[in-house]
């Protein structure tokens, strides 16, 4: 699937080119974005008075020399100050902002999990390197697919990696019993860079 994007070009109405962007349609209907949005424009998409669990108001902030607490890590800065550092004209950060808009409560909870790991003994013992738990949280955030299914048979097939049976042989049944949510940055970003295929991380709960 070639969507005709370059890495630095913004395409108007790109969300109409693939079903992968369907969840974003509501944003484009109300915002009428037709070029790379500024940080202020992205901020206007966030629910008003949205706060991190620390109580700090959440806001997108340009990632440049004016960024407060510049030496602080990305997730820690969000929790401690409420600032979500955002690179302008950057697909990854752009889609991250849109995911914040669509799933603010989920993003807040993921941030809490990151901060708990950062302040835990595990993090200190690993010389401030990202822990296994943080890797798992990042997998969900950036490449995860959330599947809500009403039939346990599909759960067992997914756990057994029976992709053809689930997604092809049982596709009609699959459509009736399952809700697929692409809560992630990387999959949407990959489709914006002409990738013909993209994969998500199946997190089994």
Would you state the structure tokens that stand for residue 57, as one six-digit string?
A: 């108001």
Report pLDDT digits (tens) over 93-123: 988 998 899 889 999 999 999 999 888 866 6
Residue 38 has a CB neighbour count (10 Å cut-off) of 14
Cα separation, 132 vs 4, in Å, equals 36
Residues listed for the chain: 205
Looking at residues 81-93, what average pLDDT do you find?
92
The fraction of the chain above a pLDDT of 70, given in percent, is 72
Question: Is pLDDT above 70 for 78?
Answer: yes
Whole-structure pTM value: 0.78
DSSP label at residue 51 = B
Helices (H), the chain: 25-31, 39-45, 74-81, 91-102, 104-118, 121-125, 132-143, 152-159, 163-164, 171-177, 186-191
């Amino acid at each position: 699937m070639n969507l005709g994007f370059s890495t630095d070009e913004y395409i108007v109405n790109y969300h109409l080119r693939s079903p992968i962007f369907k969840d974003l349609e509501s944003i484009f209907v109300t915002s009428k974005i037709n070029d790379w949005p500024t940080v202020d424009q992205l901020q206007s998409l966030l629910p008003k008075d949205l706060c991190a669990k620390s109580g700090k108001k959440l806001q997108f902030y340009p990632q440049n020399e004016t960024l407060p607490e510049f030496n602080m890590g990305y997730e820690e800065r969000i929790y401690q100050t409420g600032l979500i550092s955002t690179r302008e004209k950057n697909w990854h950060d752009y889609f991250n902002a849109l995911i914040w808009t669509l799933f603010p409560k989920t993003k807040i909870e993921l941030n809490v999990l990151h901060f708990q790991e950062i302040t835990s003994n595990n993090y200190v013992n690993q010389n401030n390197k990202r822990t296994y738990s943080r890797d798992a949280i990042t997998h969900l955030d950036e490449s995860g697919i959330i599947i809500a299914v009403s039939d346990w048979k599909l759960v067992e097939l997914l756990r057994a990696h029976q992709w053809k049976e689930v997604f092809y042989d049982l596709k009609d049944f699959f459509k009736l019993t399952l809700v697929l949510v692409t809560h992630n940055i990387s999959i949407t970003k990959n489709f914006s860079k002409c990738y013909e295929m993209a994969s998500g991380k199946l997190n089994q709960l």
